[in-house]
Amino acid sequence: MTCADFLKELTDYLDAAIDESTRAELEDHLAWCHNCYVICNTTKKTIEIYRDSQLYELPEELRSRLEVAILSKCAGKKKQSAP
Amino acid sequence: MAEKLHPETMAVIETKVRDAATDELTLVQAAKRGDVGAFEELVKRYDRNIFRIAQHITQNREDAEDVTQDAFLKAYENLEQFQGNSKFYTWLVRIAVNESLMKLRRRRTDRTVSLDEDIKTEEDTMPREVADWSPNPEQLYKQGELKDILRKTIQGLPASFRTVFVLRDVEGLSTEETAEALDLSIPAVKSRLLRARLQLRERLNKYFRKPKRAETAKSDVR
């Protein structure tokens, strides 16, 4: 397996979406290829950091304001469509 | 590295997912019959996610507020068209992504923002620099500083890559749900996801790589 082959499978490997034999081949490659090992680890870390970082949280005050706006518009639509 | 869950744990998760889907469908059916309270429950359940997705795509808070409102309103107006073949949430995400892309197009002068945007070069998947990171890179920076780095980094990705990454890796949609929400094929989702992940990794290198010593090697990827 070449590094290019490994990279093609990286997404499925990180998502545990591959069969056992492909997984074993990829892990064989990881055992001797330091570059792919580093790429794999740092890509996994990239995903974890973004997943845990909560970059764009909705503040409660804004959330309440949005909910009121959405529901009043929905209620307005309901009235419009009532016979 | 990729860990498999125990079958019993998987069974518990599958049951919970099935129950949540049934519960969601009950709320949708009630909302279809005109129960605004049921729709309110759906809004409360998903507004945070929709806002996050919208802000990630539009990169603008006011636009994200507008998209959140418009997406729920559009969903409400078109509930009859929701057939229940997919999850309501996936359907809602699809509406929100389309609204977000429209906002983005309006702000851009080139107006070429599209999910079909598929910048295909060998470089995308061939890492240029292989540097190991510090063991806990997120601890190298203060919380606010780290968030600024992450925002700045993801903003640099093309919208089509950013959207796939956000749905799949930040919001936790499955590959199939992401494909459905974006009207893309599964191979297209996987290809964009790989490139998004690798590009983010590459761009984060300069912030997270191990300090001192010559840990950095030029890529000799074969």
The region of weakest confidence among B115-124, B153-162, B177-186 is B115-124
E strands within chain B?
Answer: 129-130, 217-218
Comparing CB atoms, the residue among B47, B150, B217 nearest residue A50 is B150
Q: What is the pLDDT of residues A42-82, one digit of tens each?
A: 999 999 999 998 899 899 999 999 999 999 888 887 666 66
CB atoms B200 and A16 under 8 Å = no
Question: H-helix or E-strand containing B88?
Answer: helix B88-107
Interchain contact, B2 vs A23, CB within 8 Å: yes
**Cβ distance of A63 and B47 shorter than 8 Å:** yes
The secondary structure of B133-149, three-state, reads ECCCHHHHCCHHHHHHH
Name every chain A residue with its beta carbon within 8 A of the beta carbon of B204.
42, 46, 49
Residue B172 with chain A: CB contacts under 8 Å: 51
- Model confidence at B211, pLDDT cuts 50, 70, 90, reads confident
Q: How far apart, in whole angstroms, are the C-alpha atoms of residue B72 and residue B10?
A: 32
Whether residue B184 has pLDDT greater than 90 = yes
Q: Is the pLDDT of residue B83 over 70?
A: yes
Contact check, Cβ <8 Å, A53/B150: yes
Query: For the residues B10-23, what does the mean pLDDT come to?
Result: 66
Mutate to test the interface with A, among B45, B59, B130, B208 (most CBs of A within 10 A): B130
Global pTM?
A: 0.83
Q: How far apart are CA B11 and CA B130, in angstroms?
A: 39
Contact B125 A74 (CB under 8 A): no
Helix residue ranges per DSSP H, chain A: 3-14, 20-32, 34-53, 60-81
Q: In chain A, which residue's Cα lies nearest the Cα of B216?
A: A35
- In this structure, of B172-176, B195-199, B203-207, B214-218, the range with the lowest mean pLDDT score is B214-218
pLDDT in tens, B147-167: 999 999 999 999 999 999 999
